[in-house]
């Protein structure tokens, strides 16, 4: 086994690499709709997302980070190579899906990769049901709550605005969508933004740099900046898929989708439930589109996105196990 302190820096760099990839595959979910409706330019949206992601992580505590860092696998029986294997898994899988413009869940890639690597090193005893229970609840939050909330919000708005002129609706919601996009970015930071901060802190504990698990302010800031840079450098592929290819969005639709997804994510963060912002905003966009007509949603695009979601768990768990085993036998 490598010396903990000597192996710590490479592992922390791998965590930041995974956070950077998270920035170009997952963080764009928070701003795709506001870009597609042309309420904000991509550069404006990226700056807003970066700032509010950090703000969300700072203002809402570290309950989600603690779930990832302490409640998915037993931290006392894993080591830094397990974390390294999980991070490398995320980088490989997310780079492949990003290449094809598919928004995948870094949350599920992280959890699956960490689980697979932990199983390779310590067997089934490494798993903690408490954390996995929250993961399963998160699946319900992201899939069903995101979809149903968006339908309720959109139908309500249609009824309230039924006598309004389209030009007036667009003018009003062009302004309101800036607020809903900001809320979505803030809520993304309150949940997804915390996950890699939790892994970073876990690595510091395993490497002996901290004696107890907590998430220092400097970790929050470093991870937030790296995620923002990832969005700036590579987020456009995912923005294009979600904002332009899934369904046609007007500002009122974007407002409904972002508000619904942001509310679902905020509720999950309050209870320390790690959920996929990718799933949440995608299902919200599908729900909004479906209120116009079933054919308004490009279900072929949606099907490819869902297929990538389904594959994430087994692929990342298997790849995490393989890399964890390789790191173990080579140490």
> Is the four-CA dihedral 307, 312, 318, 319 of positive or negative sign?
positive
pLDDT for the residue 247: 75
Q: Where are the alpha helices (DSSP H) in 100-243?
A: 106-122, 129-140, 146-160, 166-206, 217-234, 236-240
Cα atoms in the Cβ-side hemisphere of radius 13 Å centred on 67: 29
pLDDT for the residue 68: 82
pLDDT for the residue 151: 94
Residues 6+ apart with CB under 8 A from 38: none
pLDDT for the residue 131: 81
Domain count, the chain: 1
pLDDT for the residue 158: 92
- Determine the Cα–Cα distance for residues 238 and 111; give it in Å rounded to an integer: 21
Domain of 208? 4-330
Do 56 and 187 meet the contact criterion of CB atoms below 8 Å apart?
A: yes
pLDDT for the residue 244: 57
pLDDT mean by block of 10 residues, the chain; 331 residues: 68 93 73 79 79 76 77 86 94 85 78 92 86 82 84 94 90 91 84 83 91 88 83 66 67 91 86 80 86 79 78 93 90 68
Output the CA angle 147-153-155, nearest 5 degrees.
100
- Which residue matches tokens 């389209």? 166
Cα 131 to Cα 66, 198, 239: the distances in Å are: 10, 13, 30
pLDDT tens digit string along 35-57?
A: 778 888 877 887 887 788 778 77
pLDDT for the residue 270: 80
Minimal CA–CA distance to 14: which of 80, 105, 101?
Answer: 80
Cα 9 to Cα 4, 16, 48, 231: the distances in Å are: 9, 11, 30, 24
Pair of tokens at residue 216: 């220092």
pLDDT for the residue 267: 84
Three-state DSSP state, 127: strand
- Determine the Cα–Cα distance for residues 86 and 218; give it in Å rounded to an integer: 23
User: Residue 6 burial by CB count (10 A; 0-12/13-18/19+): exposed, middle or buried?
Assistant: exposed
User: Residue 140 burial by CB count (10 A; 0-12/13-18/19+): exposed, middle or buried?
Assistant: middle
pLDDT for the residue 14: 95
What is the share, in percent, of the chain residues with pLDDT greater than 70? Answer: 92
Do 198 and 65 meet the contact criterion of CB atoms below 8 Å apart?
A: yes
pLDDT for the residue 318: 96
pLDDT for the residue 55: 81
Neighbours of 41 (CB within 10 A): 11
- Determine the Cα–Cα distance for residues 201 and 223; give it in Å rounded to an integer: 11
pLDDT for the residue 236: 62
- Determine the Cα–Cα distance for residues 199 and 158; give it in Å rounded to an integer: 43
pLDDT tens digit string along 256-308?
A: 998 999 898 888 888 878 778 778 888 888 888 888 887 777 777 777 777 87
Minimal CA–CA distance to 83: which of 224, 209, 220?
Answer: 209
Residues 6+ apart with CB under 8 A from 279: 105, 139, 142, 143, 146, 309
- Determine the Cα–Cα distance for residues 196 and 106; give it in Å rounded to an integer: 10
Beta bridge partners of 247: 297
| Helix/strand/coil percentages in the chain, nearest 5 | 85, 0, 15
Give 293's DSSP letter. -
pLDDT for the residue 277: 79
């Amino acid at each position: 086994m490598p010396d903990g302190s000597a192996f710590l820096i490479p592992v922390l760099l791998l965590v930041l690499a995974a956070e950077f990839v998270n920035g170009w595959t997952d963080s764009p979910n928070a701003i795709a709709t506001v870009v597609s409706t042309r309420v904000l330019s991509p550069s404006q949206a990226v700056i807003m997302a970066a700032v509010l992601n950090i703000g969300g992580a700072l203002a809402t505590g570290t309950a989600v980070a603690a779930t990832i860092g302490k409640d998915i696998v037993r931290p006392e029986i894993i080591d830094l190579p397990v974390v390294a294997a999980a991070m490398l898994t995320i980088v490989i899988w997310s780079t492949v899906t990003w290449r094809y413009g598919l928004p995948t869940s870094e949350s599920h890639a992280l959890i699956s990769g960490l689980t697979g690597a932990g199983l390779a090193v310590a067997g089934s005893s490494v798993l903690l049901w408490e954390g996995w229970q929250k993961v399963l609840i998160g699946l319900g939050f992201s899939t069903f709550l995101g979809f149903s909330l968006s339908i309720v919000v959109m139908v309500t708005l249609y009824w309230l605005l039924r006598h309004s002129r389209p030009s007036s609706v667009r003018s009003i919601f062009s302004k309101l969508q800036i607020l809903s996009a900001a809320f979505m970015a803030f809520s993304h930071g309150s949940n997804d933004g915390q996950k890699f901060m939790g892994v970073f802190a876990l690595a510091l504990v395993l490497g002996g740099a901290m004696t107890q698990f907590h998430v220092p302010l400097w970790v929050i800031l470093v991870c937030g900046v790296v995620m923002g840079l990832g969005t700036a450098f590579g987020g456009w592929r995912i923005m294009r898929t979600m904002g332009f290819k899934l369904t046609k969005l007007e500002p009122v639709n974007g407002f409904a989708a972002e508000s619904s997804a942001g509310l679902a994510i905020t509720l999950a963060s309050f209870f320390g439930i790690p959920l996929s912002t990718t799933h949440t905003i995608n299902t919200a966009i599908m729900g909004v589109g479906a209120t116009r007509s079933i054919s308004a949603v490009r279900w072929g695009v949606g099907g490819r996105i869902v297929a990538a979601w389904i594959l994430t768990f087994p692929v990342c768990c298997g790849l995490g196990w393989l890399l964890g085993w390789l790191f173990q036998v080579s140490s």
